[in-house]
Structure 1
Amino acid sequence: MLSTRLKAIRKLRQLSQEQLAHLVGIEEASASTRISQYERGVHEPPYKLMIKIAKVLDVPVAYFYADNDELAEIILKYHSEKKR
């Protein structure tokens, strides 16, 4: 779930894997590869990195760890309404 949500929100924010990696401080040599592995579910990013990714993508970190898609959508909705 984390992997598919990461990919979907990154694309929604119109960022490439390389751009996202750069914005969260992943070294350039492995930037695109690491994000790709996270999005394919090959590896799970460390929680501290997910906090950075969530900030860059402007979503709560809880969105990535929600048990189901319905809860994830509720988290996003709450986040966007809270910002108003």
Structure 2
Amino acid sequence: MSNFNNNFQIINKIEDKLAQAQSMVKVVSDNHNYKDEGLNKPFIEHCDTGNLIWAIGDLIEDAYKELLKIDFKGDDNNG
């Protein structure tokens, strides 16, 4: 069952990273569409939005790297 537990932990890490990225994408999208949100100007400066996009990219890259660690074969020889 160690592979099941290991895969479960990896999936939790992936879910966490993707949830963070999704939240940040929503903020960037709302900022970009600030008029639709009833605002007169963006609530985040352009340079700060760029930083959020970098962070989103890093989270997605980390999630992908975690995905590659999942043992889909069920090979229990590693643990």
Give the alignment's TM-score, normalised by structure 1.
0.26
Instruction: Tell which has more relative contact order, 1 or 2 (C-alpha 8 A, sep 6+).
Output: 2
Larger Rg: 2
